[in-house]
Amino acid sequence: MKFSSILLLSFSLASGAAMAGGTTEAGVGGALGGVLGSVVGQQIGGNTGSAIGAALGGAGGSAVGADKRSRGEAAIGGALGAAGGNVVGRSVGGNTGSLVGAAAGGGAGGALGNYMGNRSDDDDRRYRGRDNRRYDRDDHRGRGHAYGHRKHHHRHR
């Protein structure tokens, strides 16, 4: 039983690479990975193994489904969400609650991590160098097309 669960987890995470792309995929990957990791961890190590497995599965599933630039953030979000959801779900509803909690937490954490990673990349790109329009509006123009009659014929005497 243990080997078949590990094999199922490996195949399901590997097959998710075909649909790698966005926030929704990171959420779905985190949910599936959290549930499968929780099942495998429960078989191997009981309640503690279930939480650890949910974290590892949520991280892997979220990273597989996330954008290339934000896989780290999605993996962290998926791991924290799946592990937290597993623990909270177990205290509320036993084994079934732990699976539902791992799915909900891994999905939400992976999607949120991917979104925040993309948002961080956008912020980095927007305020770099002369791309900032406020800088250009404050009369800090370059020597390119906007310099008019002083553009050509620089003769130093």
Does residue 52 belong to any structural domain of this protein?
yes
Does residue 8 belong to any structural domain of this protein?
no
Does residue 112 belong to any structural domain of this protein?
yes
Residue with structure tokens 């912020």? 123
Does residue 113 belong to any structural domain of this protein?
yes
Does residue 53 belong to any structural domain of this protein?
yes
Q: Mean per-residue pLDDT for 131-145? A: 57
Q: Is the predicted pLDDT of residue 142 greater than 60, yes or no?
A: no
Residue 120's pLDDT is: 77
Does residue 149 belong to any structural domain of this protein?
no
Residue pLDDT, tens place only, 60-108: 999 988 888 888 999 999 999 999 999 999 999 888 899 999 999 999 9
Q: Is the predicted pLDDT of residue 124 greater than 80, yes or no?
A: no
pTM confidence score: 0.66
Residue 86's pLDDT is: 93
Does residue 153 belong to any structural domain of this protein?
no
More confident residue, 118 or 108: 108
Residue 4's pLDDT is: 54
Structural domain count, the chain: 1
Q: Which 8-state DSSP code applies to residue 1?
A: -
Residue 24's pLDDT is: 87
Cα 123 → chain centroid: 17
Which residue range forms the structural domain that includes residue 60? 21-119
Residue pLDDT, tens place only, 7-27: 455 555 544 444 446 888 888
Three-state DSSP at 87 gives helix
Q: CA separation (Å) from 61 to 11, 21, 32, 147?
A: 11, 12, 7, 53
Does residue 157 belong to any structural domain of this protein?
no
